[in-house]
Amino acid sequence: MTTPPALAEGLRDQIAPTGKLRVAIAISPAGGAFWCTKTQSGYAGVPADLGKAMAAQLGVPVEYVVHQNSGQITDAASKGTWDVAFLPKDAERETRMSFGPVYEVADATYIVKAGSTATNFATLDQGGVKVAAVNNTTTMRGAQAHLKNAKVIGYQTYDEIFNLVKNGEIDAFALSRDQLDAMAKKIPGTKVLDETFKQTVTAVAVPLSHPQALDFVTKFMIEATSSGLLRQAYDNNGLKDTPIRTHTSSWRPG
């Protein structure tokens, strides 16, 4: 996508007011379509690749603004600390930022600790059961709505919850299936439950009242999908077997 010169200047003022495109990312060891990982040379992940390509198209440098989770990115949306983000979308977040196209639909479920007797949602949702979630995320809100008896407890980082699960200090962890499958490989005896309690959709986002920026990122993502750029970003980040799933009409915010 090319931007007309007259529009380009106004667009850059709105989408990259500091002269850099500040891309909000969140860090986890597993990476994924939303999460990024820290590397020796910087950051890797689908959002990192897309942000870099977006900055190149605008003709500005990219700067990654690192957060521990999507809730922190959301809280910073009105503070002017980032220009574009790629994060899970729900009704609450739509009041705090403007979303463009969805590029991933992820199934959310639970991983249970080694030795747990829970084999499905019914046996997990019991009084006294403690379920961890990343604080202030769409998945945490979904788990709170789903579980009627178990207690959902929010933590700031993936790493903190990983250690709680590993040490058996928490009964279960709510997150997307791809992230939990990766965790299960690292913690012997844990099990990812087969059922899905919600679908989390991930989309590009910009701060509210940035119509030119929203128009640009929308066109960028449509072209990135059709040109193969999004597929390449998936492939570059260990997701060669992961299909690109877009918004389905059956999804409702959880």
User: Is 145 inside any structural domain?
Assistant: yes
113-117, 129-133, 248-252: which range is least confident on average?
248-252
User: Is 124 inside any structural domain?
Assistant: yes
3-state secondary structure of 215: helix
Smallest Cα–Cα separation from 110: which of 84, 64, 146? 146
pLDDT of residue 20: 96
- Shared domain check, 180 and 132: yes
Please state the φ and ψ torsions of residue 203, each to the nearest 5 degrees.
-145, 165
pLDDT of residue 238: 86
- Shared domain check, 20 and 98: yes
- Shared domain check, 136 and 15: no
Of 198, 226, 248, which marks where a domain is finished?
198
Number of domains making up the chain? 2
CATH of the domain at 11: 3.40.190.10
pLDDT of residue 218: 96
pLDDT of residue 36: 94
Secondary structure (DSSP) of 173-193? EEEEHHHHHHHHHHSTT-EE-
Its pTM stands at 0.81
- Shared domain check, 229 and 163: no
Model confidence at 142, pLDDT cuts 50, 70, 90, reads very high
- How many angstroms separate the CA atoms of 233 and 242, rounded? 11
Range 16-43 average pLDDT: 91
| Dihedral sign (CA 104, 108, 114, 120) | negative
- Shared domain check, 160 and 43: no
Of 169, 198, 227, which marks where a domain is finished?
198
Query: What percentage of the chain exceeds 90 in pLDDT?
Result: 76
User: Is 250 inside any structural domain?
Assistant: no
- Shared domain check, 154 and 87: no
- Shared domain check, 207 and 147: no
Q: What is the pLDDT of residues 182-199, one digit of tens each?
A: 899 999 999 999 999 999
- Shared domain check, 218 and 138: no
**C-beta separation of 52 from 99 below 8 A:** no
Q: What is the pLDDT of residues 197-228, one digit of tens each?
A: 999 899 999 999 899 999 999 999 999 999 99
Q: What is the pLDDT of residues 39-77, one digit of tens each?
A: 988 999 999 999 999 999 999 999 999 999 999 999 999
| Dihedral sign (CA 133, 139, 142, 147) | negative
User: Is 251 inside any structural domain?
Assistant: no
User: Is 137 inside any structural domain?
Assistant: yes
- Shared domain check, 171 and 118: yes
Residue found by looking up tokens 């990192």 in the block: 48
User: Is 249 inside any structural domain?
Assistant: no
User: Is 20 inside any structural domain?
Assistant: yes
- Shared domain check, 13 and 97: yes
- How many angstroms separate the CA atoms of 162 and 89, rounded? 24
- Shared domain check, 173 and 50: no
Q: Which domain holds residue 189?
A: 106-198
- Shared domain check, 214 and 139: no
Looking at the chain, the number of H-run helices and the number of E-run strands are 9, 11
User: Is 253 inside any structural domain?
Assistant: no
